[in-house]
Structure 1
């Protein structure tokens, strides 16, 4: 069982379009907005992220400080109350009013003791909410809100941050705007019975400085982190910028090399076309020289032999006849060579007409039939391509007649998606390509090499599909789009 063998061309010269990245923009530099660098993008994002994070941390820390300060103020108030006021309110266990001496003693504590350095004002309430002493109020209140009283009566210290109303707390507002309001239980000596409730107002300025320090520390930490990160990113950004500059330079150089390569490929393709044209003209000249030179001389020799035959004896006439026969055979071969080397006038023919002419002449010379199948074909084609197509079909059909006896000869041609495809097929015994490569002097090898050279010199591809007992298929393809680009260049 034979295996198909396929020989493909290794020299494709199709020129692809230049990559878009190698084409420089025509817009002026002042029309193109310069995008921010990576370091600037990073610092903007970092400012947002770290700013929000630090704001959250600062708020959380401030809240914790305020809560701790509130607890500390409540505990301090309880200590102050126990140390300074408890002994002056013991009489409230039996009475609903403080004696003048007790009121005077508490007033003196608020003016001459260290209590004045921490506490702005003091109020003393009974368990039912009635006020029995106040540093700031000219007249004691009749009642107090139930919420602090209820919490203190359960034995808890009630503490909250508050902003006092200027109409009811004008005295305290002279010292500030924000206070800690603390309520503590006052118990009877020797028992746990709550006999009164002490209310303290303490300024918040004791922790305002801490807030400022906390925010200053957080701000400095955020600024240090941003500066350090920006230094790292900027260093990396500069390295990337240098590498990008080197890469852009390399891309520019490769673009230049690419354009030079494209130009060289086009020149090579044009040179191949010119060489094919020159080769064809040379073959025409050789054919004309054979027809006008040796063919005319042989014709003259035949005429002289005819004249000599009339005056010769019978014995000499036989020798002259053999010479005359050899001269006629030589003249016939020279004329065949001359006709094969000289092309018909195909410049004015379309591709379809020249393929029909090539098949018709082969049928006339070989007295065989060729199946011609033509699909869509271009109306116009360069003369070098027309010559190549004519010679390709001529040589391939000649090989099919010579080696395959003209069996199942078929020529197909069509254009699909801008690709012109020519196929010449026969149903002969086929060829062993491995053996054919080992015998380069073989006539068919020379014919195949000539066909391959013609096709590839014009930028096409040439393939042979054959195997012993399976006939031979010769396929040539031309990219008409590429041919148009080369013609424009």
Structure 2
């Protein structure tokens, strides 16, 4: 009661201190439990879904994200390939139309007025006007020597595309018209893409200028959009097909797993039921065994009492009457001739009385309810020494102070029968009782130094009395939940051990 009161007092103290702790905590501390509850709610919600649903959601996210990057990469590659193809076609235009007009730049780095006029006239032709909206010719230093927009002539601009073209590459760009030299092209307000191509000297092959075309991108953008749509349809169809295939595979596996879980759960329930039933039966068997040994002890006591009160008393009366008869015969001087017969009858009666008393004493268990285990072991050893005239050594360690009476009776009978076997089969040589109690395990061992026997080759349940005694000891010990072992070695001796977990 005092311990319960102390626990209650501590609980009341914690409850009383809780409001102050909540008041002193900051806002973050107050919000955290809510966040945790939302997280736990979401996690429990997801756990409540089937495995196939969880897989579809996860696979849709992962596979969809992967396919998005794949589709975007393929689309960019298609766009780059289309632009490159258009750039190569534009480069052919430049080589065919512009290179004749830049041959003079190998000598004076300028284009003559006649060439400029010819280029303007060529750009205004209907066949080229359908594709090219603007055109420029650059010197290697970034100066515009020809342009559809005459306002930027002889101006110098720094562009990376010119550097790439001077390296012998065809450079194209679909979207970047934000530079200062593109004011005219931006004003056209039509989709354009730039093509930069090197213009070479016809004799030496040296790059003398860079030509730039601005072509309309309407058709190219439509083609790119068409190809991109085809790519995305293929990627989407493949993704959907993979998701559906994986979904059906996972769904089938999930169904198999659920069936196995149901079967396993039913088996576990059945196993638990059988285990519970088995444990109940074992408890009943143990209880029945204990009741049997109690009844057996009562029967033995009754037999001992009957022998003591019946035949023993009659034999005592016979001896008394024989002594009275001997006195009467001696008084009449009729006994001397029959002295030998009288003594033989009286000796036989005394022997019978002694055996009946020994049997009665062995059947009737002495009162051990008030004795400790140490005193009980000393008692059974002393009675064995008194009855057999042999010596029993005691090696008693720390022993429990209180044991239930049925277990004390079991221990008494175990030691008594083991000592009887040691005296019968080993002549009482090296009789020793060892008892100890450690880690809640009570261990009792009865040893002798006789000839021993082969335990594996000699079954306990045989017709010999000694082995029947061992079988009875095993049943008695195991009925109290203990373990019983016999160890024997030829020429060394025998050890009989009983252990009880408490």
TM class by shorter chain equals: 0.7 to 0.9
Please give the secondary structure, in 2, of the residue aligned with 1:102.
helix
How far apart, CA to CA, are the structure 1 residues paired with 2:172 and 2:263? 69
> Does structure 2 conserve the Cα–Cα contact (< 8 Å) formed by 1:370 and 1:409?
yes
Bigger proportion of residues as helix: 2
Name stretches of at least 5 consecutive residues in structure 2 with no aligned partner: 1-40
Per mean C-alpha deviation after superposition, the further-off stretch among 44-53 and 431-440 is: 431-440
The alignment's C-alpha RMSD in Å is 3.6
Once the two structures are TM-superposed, the CA of residue 448 in structure 1 deviates from its matched residue by 2.7
Query: Which of 231, 237, 257 matches 1:214?
Result: 231
Residue 482 of structure 2 corresponds to which residue in structure 1?
460
Question: Do 2:111 and 2:145's aligned partners in 1 also have CA atoms closer than 8 Å?
Answer: no
Kindly indicate whether residue 159 of structure 2 is the aligned counterpart of residue 143 of structure 1: no
Instruction: Give 1:244's match in structure 2, choosing from 246, 253, 261.
Output: 261
1:12-411 to 2 correspondence within 5 Å?
Answer: 33=44, 35=47, 37-82=50-95, 96-98=112-114, 102=118, 105-109=121-125, 112-113=126-127, 115-125=128-138, 130-136=143-149, 138=151, 140-145=153-158, 148-149=161-162, 152=165, 156-165=169-178, 169-173=182-186, 179-185=192-198, 197-205=210-218, 206-207=220-221, 208-209=224-225, 210-312=227-329, 313-314=334-335, 315=337, 318-411=340-433
| 1:469 and 2:491 aligned | yes
Q: Shift of residue 88 of structure 1?
A: 7.6
Give the stretch that moved more between structures: 465-474 or 76-85: 76-85
- Matched residue, 1:25: none
- 1:426 aligned residue (448, 451, 467): 448
Per the TM alignment, residue 105 of structure 1 is displaced from its structure 2 partner at its CA by: 1.9
Count of paired positions: 448
Higher relative contact order (CA 8 A, sep 6+): 1
Deviates more, 1:243-252 or 1:400-409: 400-409
Deviates more, 1:329-338 or 1:46-55: 46-55
Residues 430-459 of structure 1: CA deviation (Å, up to 9, x unaligned): 346589659944332333333233223323
Helix, strand or coil: the match of 2:214?
strand
TM-score under structure 1 normalisation?
0.79
Distance 1:436 1:143, change over 3 A: closer
1:344 is paired with a residue whose SS is: coil
Question: Does the 8 A contact of 1:163 with 1:179 survive in 2?
Answer: no
Provide closer, same or farther for how the CA distance between residues 57 and 293 of structure 1 changes in structure 2, counting only shifts above 3 A. Answer: same
> How much does 1:320 deviate?
4.1
Where does the alignment leave 5 or more consecutive residues of structure 1 unmatched?
1-29, 481-489
The Cα of 1:63 is off from its aligned counterpart by 3.8
Q: Secondary structure at the match of 1:75?
A: helix
Q: Deviations over 1:97-134 (max 9, x none)?
A: 2468536523532xx33x33433322244666554543
Q: Distance in 1 between matches of 2:456 and 2:253?
A: 60
Does the Cα contact within 8 Å between 1:136 and 1:171 map onto a contact in 2?
A: yes
Per-residue CA distance 1:260-296 (angstroms, 9 max, x = gap): 1111111111111111111111100110111111112
Q: TM-score, normalised by structure 2?
A: 0.77
Q: 1:196 to 1:288 in 2, by over 3 A?
A: closer
**1:348 Cα shift?**
1.9
1:469-488 matched pairs, under 5 angstroms: 469-480=491-502
- Distance verdict in 2 for CA 1:199–1:402, change over 3 Å: closer
**Aligned CA distance change for structure 1 residues 203 and 276 (closer, same or farther; 3 Å):** farther
Residues 104 and 63 of structure 1, relative CA distance in 2, 3 Å threshold: closer
Q: Deviations over 1:222-259 (max 9, x none)?
A: 23222221221121111111111111111111111111
Q: Which residue number in structure 2 is paired with residue 12 of structure 1?
A: none
The answer as to whether partners of 1:88 and 1:106 remain within 8 angstroms in 2 is: no
Distance 1:445 1:123, change over 3 A: closer
- Deviation at 1:412? 0.6
Distance 1:428 1:87, change over 3 A: closer
